[in-house]
Amino acid sequence: MTQRPPHIELRHLHSFLVVAEELHFGRAAVRLGIAQPPLSQQIKRIEEAIGHRLLDRDTRNVSLTPAGEAFAETARAVLGQLSAGIERARDVATGGAGRLAVGFTPTTALRLLPRIVPVFRQENPGAVIELTEHMPASLLEALRLGQIDLAIMRDPSPMDDVVATMLHEEAYVAVLPAAHPQATTARFDLAALGADPFVLFPHNAESQTVARVFALCAEAGFVPRGIQQVPGWQTAIAMVGSGMGVTILPESVENLQLPGIVYRHIASPIRSTIAAVCRQGDARPMVEAFIARGAAIMSA
């Protein structure tokens, strides 16, 4: 049968360490803000609980016994672990510590995540951020299944079971082959792409990205034709570079300077939004802290 450890109060541990440091009951009592007799009683209770003397004392001197030296090391470790545990509990309660699994789509990794994640990690060294890339169609499924805690995605559609917080918005650019007539004009005209085949993502009911591309084209007076569907923006850009069509993407793709590709800004109030999406009712401090800090960083 496991032996029950002796009962020693934490405040008595602290008192013993002060005495061990001062090696003087009078000075130790002053530091602790108590009278000397109660302090002597506390040390006596510890010695009774352990069953051995921890201090040798006479009218002039106080010294640690070998058992006292060993117990002082243990007391420091116990109080140090307790202090660290209290700080970690506070960090977890305020969102500064813990594990957070964040899923993201490829285009959100170009500008947004490189700005938010390093700052959050630096400010919260106790936080463990796990990043996984998903295509838009699988991102919200992973969130709903609990495989990730937070989804960073573009243009989420309103849904009952998730909550979206906008972090950033950006304009769109037309992605053209370098040889396209509109690649070098002084003033870009989106309407001039009406005769070009378009390379687009498949329609996804949980995202409004494709709908916003069609809205941009409608503003310019045409409907995209000859649509070639591709699974992601990398493939779309590669196909444009191969001369197979044109596409429209958020302006952060300009970070990718690829040969044979030209980006032209589209003048329109229609914007692509990047949002942090979490499950409805998920009020965990880490989730809330990451979203709040991300919104503050992107709005600065």
pLDDT tens across 197-238, in order? 999 987 776 778 889 999 999 999 999 988 888 887 888 899
Give me the domains of the chain, ranges plus CATH numbers: 10-93 (1.10.10.10), 95-168+273-299 (3.40.190.10), 172-270 (3.40.190.10)
pLDDT at residue 89, rounded to an integer: 67
User: Structure tokens of 167?
Assistant: 């972090």
pLDDT at residue 179, rounded to an integer: 93
- Flag whether pLDDT at 3 surpasses 70: no
Of 2-6, 78-82, 176-180, which range is least confident?
2-6
One-character DSSP codes across 183-252: GS-SS--GGGGTTSEEEEPPP-TTB-HHHHHHHHHHHTT---EEEEE-SSHHHHHHHHHTTS-BEEEEGG
pLDDT at residue 1, rounded to an integer: 45
Verdict on whether the full-model pTM lies above 0.75: no
User: Structure tokens of 2?
Assistant: 């496991």
- Flag whether pLDDT at 158 surpasses 70: yes
- Cα gap 45→23, rounded to integer Å: 18
Q: What mean pLDDT is predicted for residues 159-185?
A: 93
Torsion of CA 111, 116, 117, 118, to 10 degrees: 100
pLDDT at residue 95, rounded to an integer: 59
- For 48-102, the pLDDT digits (tens) are 888 888 888 876 788 888 888 888 888 888 877 777 666 666 766 665 667 899 9
- Flag whether pLDDT at 131 surpasses 90: yes
